[in-house]
Amino acid sequence: MNEDKTTHFGYQEVPVAEKARHVGSVFDSVADRYDLMNDLMSAGMHRLWKRRAIAQAMLSKGQDVLDLAGGTGDLARLALDKVGDDGHVVLSDINAAMLQRGRDRFINEGIDSQASYVRCDAEFLPFPDGSFDRVTIGFGLRNVTNKDRALAEMRRVLRPGGRAIILEFSHVQVAALRPFYDLYSFRVMPIMGKLIVDDPDSYRYLAESIRVHPDAQTLSNMMENAGFEDCGYNLLTAGVVAIHHGWVY
C-alpha cells in the first residue's frame, strides 16, 4: 500500500495517514463503557471467545506475552493467570484512553506489578527482535491500517518457538443467518450505541469494519506471507469470530 493512497475506515475511504486518527476517535468515545457494550452486544459470548483464544496460546509459567490492542485488558488478564509470578505480560494499545482503563483495572485488582503498559502502534513495535514467547491481539487487527506490516512486526518480536494468536471477527458461514446478523449489526448495534454511549456512529463503524476485514482464509494466508508457519484458524459461533494461530520456528 502506498502511503498516498486511501484505505478503509468502515465503508468509507480515508487517506492512509488519517485512519489511525479516525479509529482513535471511535475508542476515545466508547472507552468508558467499552466493557459494558461488549457484554451487551455479544450476550457475554466475547468472554468465552477470549478464553478459547488464551487456551490456544498454549501459555506456560514464566513466559513473556505481548497483548496488542489490549484495551481494557481482558486477554492480558487471562494471560497473567497462565504465566504466573515468574512470567510477564505487556498490555499495549495505541489508544491512551483504552490503555488507561486496562491499567486502572490491573491496579484495582492488585496485579499491576506483574504487567507493563506500553502505548504503541502495532505497525511499529518498540521492542527488540525476539522479545516475547507469545503475541496476542483480540478484536484489534481489523482497525490497523497496514495489516501486513503489523503481522510482520508480530513475527519479528517473537522468539523461536513463539506463537501468535489473533482473535477477530470473521464472516458468518451459515447463509440463513446472514440476514439476521446484518439486521442486528446495522440496526440494533447503532441503537444500543446511541442509548448507552450516545454514539451510534462508532458502532456503525464496528459493523462496517467487520465486513471489510479479510475473511479467515485470506488472513491465514497473510500470516504465512509474514513468515509464520503452521498457520491455521478455528471458526466460532457460525463464523462470527475466528481464532488464528501461527508459529515461529
- Cell matching residue 193: 450505541
Cβ-contact 189, 207 below 8 angstroms: yes
Give the model's pLDDT for residue 155: 98
- Domains of the chain (ranges plus CATH)? 18-174+203-247 (3.40.50.150)
Give the model's pLDDT for residue 43: 93
Per-residue model confidence as pLDDT tens digits over 147-183: 999 999 999 999 999 999 999 999 999 999 999 999 9
Q: Does the annotation flag 35 for ligand binding?
A: no
Instruction: Starting at the earlier edge strand, list the strands of the sheet with 115-119.
Output: 115-119, 88-93, 64-68, 132-138, 158-169, 241-247, 229-236
Buried b (16+ CB within 10 A) or exposed e, 62-92: ebbbbbbbbbbbbbbbbbbebbeeebbbbbb
Which residues make Cβ contacts (< 8 Å) with residue 183, sequence separation at least 6?
Answer: none
Cα 87 from chain centre: 22
What amino acid is encoded at 18 in this protein? E
Q: Does the annotation flag 237 for ligand binding?
A: no
Per-residue model confidence as pLDDT tens digits over 128-153: 999 999 999 999 999 999 999 999 99
Q: Does the annotation flag 72 for ligand binding?
A: yes
What is the distance between the alpha carbons of residues 246 and 89, in angstroms, rounded to a whole number?
Answer: 19
Per-residue model confidence as pLDDT tens digits over 180-210: 999 999 999 999 999 998 888 988 998 999 9
Whether the full predicted model's pTM is greater than 0.85, yes or no, is: yes
Q: Does the annotation flag 7 for ligand binding?
A: no
